[in-house]
Amino acid sequence: MAYNSKPSWSQRFHDYSNRVMRVGKWDNLNEAAVFVAVITYAASFVVDAFTYLFFCILSNMDPLLFVTEMDRVQLAFMMALILHFLVSSTAITVILVKLYDYMILKPVKSLMMQMRNLNRGDMTDYLLSGKLSKPFASIGREETWVDIVQSYVDTASSEKYLDELTGCFNRKYFTQVLGNYMRTQLMANPITGAPKTYNTDVFAVFLIDIDHFKFVNDDFGHAAGDDVLRQVGSTLRKLFGDVGVVIRNGGEEFLIIASEKFPYDFSRTAERINRAFREHISIHSDVTGETRQITCSVGYVSYPLYDSVEFLTLQNHVDLADQAMYLSKIGGRDTWRELVANKRPPKGFDLTKLCSDPDYGVQKGYLSVRKP
């Protein structure tokens, strides 16, 4: 017997109710009409009920009488109120929905269509995916047209957050936008200090350095070096898509904040980064005929490392990922290293030394090094 995946009536009702309750963010007029009608009819009923009660008190009538027991005056007044309730509520609902349609919904959707039809390149498409204000598309509620408009607004003001050469975000985006976003995201999720459960959002901080980049500039020229940086930026953006934010950290270093669902082993991501460099990034000299494959050294840590957003800052995690990357370099390059949390350091520990000297954390038992 075939499995019926069609949602139940209660599920459909629940989904529709959720859409109706997205006040001001409805996708069609039916959702707006239902919301406005419910509010209007409820408000009209309360007003008319109090009016009827007030009339009965002034006229010394019993407001709880059955229709068959009322005199002609009380019955006529009640029927007039019922008629008023139906007509006025319907009229107000129609007027408000029409106003919403003409003043908000149609202009906004027209603007969206115009912006979607604009000629745009790869970077604009990348930003229109919502990366600026919503770095991880897999996290959060269903996108509404208000969210889409916000993405367009982001795009219009995105230039200050972009590295022109690589097409990735820059350090200003990391310090001014991403840090606050990550802190808010983790504080909103019940993962801090609690066991992670299946499908919980988990994060990691990666730092990537292009191996022997100085030799690329020396042997092939700075124009070739710029071409390598562009290749790296494009490759990393395609590799991470909606589950990672790619930032040019400076020079030949790239910083990535990646998101996945628990349980997930981020060493798989590190392997994918190394493999993507080997397979897709190279430089060729028309003069000498030499083609050189480009590799990278990867270091990463889980975020938050000690299951607390208060204990170490996002920048502390970047510093630790940098130490892991350094271990990759002295370990032969074209590989990865992870710094793994063993035990949480006590109060008064040397935070500066922990984030700048990997041997300190390992010797103290706070960290261990994981490698392929």
Average pLDDT for 137-153: 61
Q: Please, which pLDDT band fits residue 335 given cuts at 50, 70 and 90?
A: very high
Tens digits of per-residue pLDDT, 148-178? 666 666 665 566 788 889 989 999 889 888 8
Is the pLDDT confidence value at 202 over 90?
no
User: Comparing 89 with 156, which gets the higher pLDDT?
Assistant: 89
**What's the confidence (pLDDT) of residue 148?**
64
Instruction: Kindly compute the dihedral angle of the four CA atoms of residues 344, 345, 347, 351, in this order, to the nearest 10 degrees.
Output: -130
**What's the confidence (pLDDT) of residue 195?**
58
Tens digits of per-residue pLDDT, 229-266? 999 999 999 999 888 899 999 899 999 999 888 888 99
**What's the confidence (pLDDT) of residue 23?**
66
Q: How far apart are CA 72 and CA 76, in angstroms?
A: 6
Nearest to 152 by CA among 181, 102, 109: 109
Secondary structure letter of residue 169 according to DSSP: B
Q: Please, which pLDDT band fits residue 372 given cuts at 50, 70 and 90?
A: very high
Average pLDDT for 28-44: 82
Asked whether 329 and 297 are in contact (CB, 8 A), the reply is yes
Q: Pairing between strand 296-303 and 336-341?
A: parallel
Q: How far apart are CA 155 and CA 135, in angstroms?
A: 13
Asked whether 210 and 278 are in contact (CB, 8 A), the reply is no
**What's the confidence (pLDDT) of residue 70?**
83
Question: Hey, where are the domains in the chain?
Answer: 9-116, 122-155, 161-370
Is the pLDDT confidence value at 351 over 50?
yes
Q: How far apart are CA 213 and CA 228, in angstroms?
A: 9
Is the pLDDT confidence value at 183 over 70?
yes
Mean pLDDT score across all residues of the chain:
82
Q: Which CATH number fits domain 161-370: 1.10.510.10, 2.60.120.620, 1.20.120.1200, 3.30.70.270?
A: 3.30.70.270
**What's the confidence (pLDDT) of residue 211?**
96
Average pLDDT for 333-361: 90
Q: Please, which pLDDT band fits residue 15 given cuts at 50, 70 and 90?
A: low
